Amino acid sequence: MTAIKDRFISREEISKLLWGMINDISTHSLSMWLKSKTDGEFVVVPREFCVLVVSFLERQVLQKEHLLFNSQNVLGQLEEIKRYL
């Protein structure tokens, strides 16, 4: 599994975000801003979406275990992802 590396955004860019907004910052605006500042490498999605996707993948692994080269490895990777959630 590829390790997720930290990205750094300058304080100046964060300050521009804060002072450039007239009202509160919506989660959508923050998400689009983060995506733009990381060249699309990071996106913000609701946590529940991630939980549902991992749960779906776990069920798929168990149902299609015979088609996978190493199903235990896949399940281990899904467990690793769940730790981020």
Q: What is the pLDDT of residues 28-75, one digit of tens each?
A: 888 999 999 998 888 888 999 999 999 998 888 878 777 767 788 888
Query: Is 15 a member of any domain?
Result: yes
- At residue 84 the predicted structure's pLDDT band, cuts being 50, 70 and 90, is confident
* Domain ranges, residue 71: 47-84
Q: What amino acid occupies position 20? A: G
For the residues 10-17, what does the mean pLDDT come to?
A: 90
Our count of domains for the chain comes to 2
DSSP string spanning 34-78? HHHHTTTS-----HHHHHHHHHHHHHHHHHTGGGSS-HHHHHHHH
DSSP assignment letter at 9: -
Whether the Cβ atoms of residue 1 and residue 77 lie closer than 8 Å to each other? yes
56 and 75 inside one domain: yes
33 and 55 inside one domain: no
Whether the Cβ atoms of residue 43 and residue 31 lie closer than 8 Å to each other? yes
**In the predicted model, is pLDDT for residue 1 greater than 60?**
no
Q: What is the pLDDT of residue 83?
A: 87
32 and 57 inside one domain: no
Query: Is 3 a member of any domain?
Result: no
56 and 37 inside one domain: no
pTM: 0.63
